Chains A and B, each alone.
Chain A
Amino acid sequence: MNQSTPIVDIKKLDYAINGRPVFAGLDIQMQRGQVTAVMGPSGTGKTTLLRLITGQVMASGGCIEVEGQNLRQLSRKDLYILRRRMGMLFQNGALLTDLSVFENVAFPLREHTDLPERLIRQIVLTKLQAVGLRGAAELMPAELSGGMSRRVALARAIVMDPEILIYDEPFVGLDPISLGVILRLIRRLNDALGITSIVVSHDVQEIASVADQVFLLSGGKVVAQGAPADLKRSPSEIVKQFVGGLPDGPVPFHFPAPDYFSELLSRSEDH
């Protein structure tokens, strides 16, 4: 596999939820070793895209290839094997509440490997050290703050040394310090471990500082892509609205409604 083959290759993707189309003919190529950001207004299906990439849901049309394997052709068992090479950080951490921090990080090791206890301990502590939480190993998830549980989830996501790391809205609800910590970790882990990272977020400024490639989705299609600096200079209306945080533009402020004047008048006439 040469350098130019994308690690995630999405071609002409179609997907609908309850008849409502989410994606129609989506094309995204993500390169190995890069931090790729997927951004867009609320409801464009960013999380759904992640589920499609990890095979949790199946596309109705088009094709998704991860590491050169067509997801549609994989059996359940092969899908599980592929997933072991991916790590995912969920929006709220998704730590198993009845296990301690240490046990949570050790979970994938215990389930998939036969490593001796000593080795598991070393690996877990190393990963916790990488996210700065080695001292919190004996705490329970309920005792952690939002930022801390996300870091633990990150340690868990990297414990099996995956090749792809997926972050689902990692910055939501974090204070500036924790946010900065996570940002730094995303970039550092990506470069230090030589992996590929996919970040779904809508924090433009934050993402721009760490991403190599950005895809902006709207209406189920890619409306802009490129390096963060390019995006900031883009003339496209929707990109400008998104990057600038403008309340009204191609993504309308008003929810579709009948004519304002006539609605007001008709109500007073009913009296």
Chain B
Amino acid sequence: MVRELWESLIESLEGLGSVIRFLLRLIVASPRALMRYDLIAQQIFNSGALSLVIIMLSGLFVGMVLGLQGFQLLQRFGSGEALGTAATIGLVKELGPVVTALLFAGRAGTALASELGLMRATDQLSAMEMMAVDPVQRVVVPRFLGGVIAMPLLAAIFSVIGIYGAQLVGVQIMGVDSGSFWSQMRAAVSLSDINEGIVKSLSFGVACSLIAVYEGYNATPTAEGVGRATTRTVVTSAVVILFLDYLITAAFL
């Protein structure tokens, strides 16, 4: 039993090392890959623009729930007017980056992993190697960078829509004063809160995109191999996101 634990620990360490080496390889190939901005733009579209609908919808609903719950809770202490502050801080620092990252892993992460896995399974990556084109530079890095760039933008959009969702519920439905909603928020929220949110979503972007392209690129070239890679992407991303969330929150304290 202990032996199995030990072995899986070693395996995880090996996996981590492998992922980090892949990241280094991506970083090294990035400068030349950046020159093909058309490829990167395409990937920003795939990972970002195509995720807009789900992110906006989720942001709206999360914001609305935050408005409801937040108001109920604050009202008990007579601080219903602080809803603006509570919703904004909750969204910008935690819910925005984390929920966006989880949704991203589910939608864009799986798309990246399965695309690359399929290219691996149909020999497209080998064909590129044969044509003396580095598949990492041409196919993997643009997808990685696309995800990294898209994530903070998505998280920001999520937060903004969430704030309006909270306002919708709080002001229109629950009767919080609109002026107080915004002015208390402005007084209490500082730029460092926003910065913390941006740092988080950037880190999540790097982590999720890295995991997705890594799993896809190294997938076993069979149908089930690709399926497994896709599942692993979501699971690993989720765990890493939540872990990083704790680290960064603690670091900013």
Establish whether A and B are touching in the complex (CB under 8 Å): yes
Chain A positions within 8 Å of B133 at CB level: 107-108, 111-112
Give A88's nearest chain B residue, CB to CB: B130
CB proximity to A under 8 Å, residues B98-139: 118-119, 122-124, 126-133, 138
Give B138's nearest chain A residue, CB to CB: A111
Chain A positions within 8 Å of B123 at CB level: 90-92, 94
CB proximity to A under 8 Å, residues B63-78: none
Cβ of A77 to closest chain B Cβ, rounded Å: 10
Cβ of A184 to closest chain B Cβ, rounded Å: 23
Chain B positions within 8 Å of A81 at CB level: 132
The reply to whether A112 and B132 form a contact with Cβ atoms under 8 Å apart is yes
Cβ of A250 to closest chain B Cβ, rounded Å: 31
Chain A positions within 8 Å of B119 at CB level: 96-97
Chain B positions within 8 Å of A95 at CB level: 124
Chain A positions within 8 Å of B131 at CB level: 83-84, 107-108, 111, 156
A54, B132: Cα distance in complex, Å: 11
Interface of B, helix, strand, loop or mixed by DSSP: helix
Extra contacts, 7 of them, besides A56-B129, A83-B132, A94-B123 (Cβ < 8 A), are A83-B129, A83-B130, A84-B131, A92-B123, A94-B122, A97-B122, A111-B132
Enumerate chain A interface residues (CB-CB to B < 8 A).
54, 56, 80-81, 83-84, 86, 88, 90-92, 94-97, 107-108, 111-112, 153, 156
Cβ of A56 to closest chain B Cβ, rounded Å: 6
Give B139's nearest chain A residue, CB to CB: A96
A81, B127: Cα distance in complex, Å: 15
The reply to whether B132 and A94 form a contact with Cβ atoms under 8 Å apart is no
* Total cross-chain contacts (CB, 8 A): 49
The reply to whether B132 and A96 form a contact with Cβ atoms under 8 Å apart is no
A92, B123: Cα distance in complex, Å: 8
Give A80's nearest chain B residue, CB to CB: B132
- Of the A-B pairs whose beta carbons lie under 8 Å apart in the complex, a sample of 20, sorted by A's number, is A56-B126, A56-B129, A56-B130, A81-B132, A83-B130, A83-B132, A84-B131, A86-B130, A88-B127, A90-B123, A90-B130, A91-B123, A94-B123, A96-B124, A97-B119, A97-B124, A107-B133, A108-B133, A111-B138, A112-B133
The reply to whether A92 and B130 form a contact with Cβ atoms under 8 Å apart is no
Give B42's nearest chain A residue, CB to CB: A98
Chain A positions within 8 Å of B118 at CB level: 97
Q: Which of B122, B127, B132 contacts A84 (CB 8 A)?
A: B132
A112, B133: Cα distance in complex, Å: 8
A108, B122: Cα distance in complex, Å: 18
Cβ of A168 to closest chain B Cβ, rounded Å: 9
Closest 7 CB pairs of A and B: A94-B127, A94-B123, A80-B132, A83-B132, A88-B130, A90-B123, A111-B133
Give B125's nearest chain A residue, CB to CB: A94
Chain A positions within 8 Å of B132 at CB level: 80-81, 83-84, 108, 111-112
A84, B132: Cα distance in complex, Å: 6
Cβ of A50 to closest chain B Cβ, rounded Å: 10
Cβ of B87 to closest chain A Cβ, rounded Å: 41
The reply to whether B127 and A90 form a contact with Cβ atoms under 8 Å apart is yes
Chain B positions within 8 Å of A54 at CB level: 130
Give A96's nearest chain B residue, CB to CB: B124
Cβ of A252 to closest chain B Cβ, rounded Å: 27
Give A168's nearest chain B residue, CB to CB: B123
A108, B124: Cα distance in complex, Å: 13
Cβ of A171 to closest chain B Cβ, rounded Å: 17
